[in-house]
Structure 1
């Protein structure tokens, strides 16, 4: 195909796919994890979000759930421990120590979680007619389908 034959959406099959990729890139570039008056660093909030179900985790479990390198998670956990937001504790019969929030970590997580809720409420007030429920439904379906696609690609490449 010559330059004169190219369209404004090349290499995409249509402008729709180009626009979706652009919107996803815009979302990724946004500093959605920066909040004025936040207590926690973004990494500490992410760890506390995983632990918000009330179940302590090992470093390996956090690494898997956060989908980061173990050295990165270890550094982030150590930082959060140094700030008093997390603690490690021994479990009888287990070689691995567990990680859980401290009361200060739980309080900071609740504070920073409320900042996120307030921002989302303002966004949805501006977005009308969109709804949080609609966005959650579509994002969840997209993320699940995306993960299935990645998993199938990984399985094929391992064969």
Structure 2
């Protein structure tokens, strides 16, 4: 909150101060923890238009970390979740690396009945920005920026910028 003085502020002023609200949590690299991470994010954004997109982003990114990286291997596996309440909302999942680079596959990849590769494509289409940084050796952080006022059932936006 820096040098912001909130002495004598109302509860609402204190809660919605201009400082960004940021949360970080670490979860065991197990499938049941994907649900726990999603429920945590849903609670943080309850009542906000973007809650369903945030929940979808957390579910997809966390599931990919558990399914496709060392995060889901062995008792010591973990993934980290970072969420920032701002406009845009920032959602990021950090994994333990390994097994390639997270990639948004081209539209229509694998045919219309393929279950592989659709999640990141969907997030890419819902997000304002999408990116990946890190390495297979040290771990990746996959992140999305989401319009705080966007609902899941809204019409598609213009294509996002992919950054890494």
Higher normalized helix content (fraction of residues)? 1
TM-score under structure 1 length normalisation: 0.28
Higher normalized strand content (fraction of residues)? 2
Larger Rg: 1
TM-score under structure 2 length normalisation: 0.28
